[in-house]
A = this chain, B = another copy of it.
Amino acid sequence: MRQIIMRNINEDLSGSLVELSEATTPQVVNPFDVRVKIAASGVCRTDLHIIGGLLPVGIPHVLGHENAGTVDEVGSMVTTVKKGDQVICFPFISNGLSTTERKGLDSNAPNRITPGINAPGGYAEFLLTNERAMIKVPETANLCELATLTDAGLAAYRACKRASKLLGVGDTAIIIGIGGLGHLAVQILRTISPAIIVAVDNKLEALAMASSFGISTTCLAQDLTETFRGQATVVLDFVGTNSTSAAALECLAFGGTYLVIGAEGSVTTTMLDLIENEKHIEGIYVGTYSELQEVTHLALSGRVRPHIQKYDLEDANQALHDLLNGKISGRAVLIP
């Protein structure tokens, strides 16, 4: 099969980052294995972190942790999907036996395998995963769009679900970064919460996209602190730099919560500010299998629609460079 291979770290992220190669199609070996014929694989900022060496992986490596496709072959004990089913892939492979999984927190299963991170991913024609990672979708579903739910949409949903528990009628939520995750978060949050939503970005086109989803307030990043100091019950930060963090914390009202999803920098604050305003800071890590079912329900019922830019699999370098250079509106996906 064709696949895109990353042969070395490229700290500068310059020139050719990955290359097309031929590989043996992965084989179903274990009784719960599932081989998926890839329809689309999302291109994520994490892929740039891997190529740049910030997130260490074994070399050579096949990227692609956001995958959707068609079941191609199943192991001997698989009962819930069969060849030909359309599926999206929960990003983690595990056996369901750990204590954390027994409580519903599949995203923290010990020794889990994450294709595209610590196993070959979906920048390829076929992906090997397992039955517990399968979410079946209708034949009519748009797999290219749905692929982006399995990481971008999932993390955005987990953040918004957490936010919605904290937000009441009349409260304000600020969403920083209207990109791959943030453009989904705007759509999700307005569906699951009555809060006033403020979309923030440093690009006017991104703010225009946010407005197109039906929210009434947008704000350029440079004006955020001045406009919303002390007003937000929740800030969702999908950028995650030192400066977005500082602005986010300043915008929190008493008892407010800063949800960190983007991971580029650090958070620093005085204890006095944390205490006197009972500020909360929380990291959000991907999401659970049930949460992926839920955000998929939102997409299938038409309330959330991922904006995608399609690239042929062999144009992976182009997609990665476009992401690096801020040229992607929504999310890029590779089509084998």
Contacts and interface: CB of A to CB of B under 8 A. Distances in A.
Interface stretch (A4-12, A64-72, A174-182, A288-296): A288-296
A276 interface: yes
Given A267-B268, A271-B283, 17 more contacts: A31-B31, A96-B97, A102-B106, A103-B290, A105-B255, A108-B254, A265-B271, A266-B271, A267-B269, A267-B274, A275-B283, A275-B284, A276-B285, A277-B283, A278-B282, A278-B283, A281-B282
On chain A, which size bracket covers the interface?
35 or more
Interface string A282-320: 111100111001110110000100000000000000000
Protomer copies: 4
A248 to B, nearest CB: 11
Contact of A169 (B80, B192, B277): B192
B31 A132 contact: no
Interface of A: 31, 77, 79-80, 96-97, 99-100, 102-106, 108, 131-132, 168-170, 191-194, 240, 245, 254-255, 260-285, 288-290, 293-295, 297-298, 303
Contacts of A170: 293-294, 297
Given A281-B281, A298-B194, A274 B289 contact: no
Nearest to A280: B282
A303 B283 CA distance: 32
A288 B97 contact: no
A99 to B, nearest CB: 7
B260 A275 contact: yes
A34 to B, nearest CB: 12
A294 B103 contact: no
Contacts of A295: 169
A194 B303 contact: yes
Contacts of A298: 169, 194
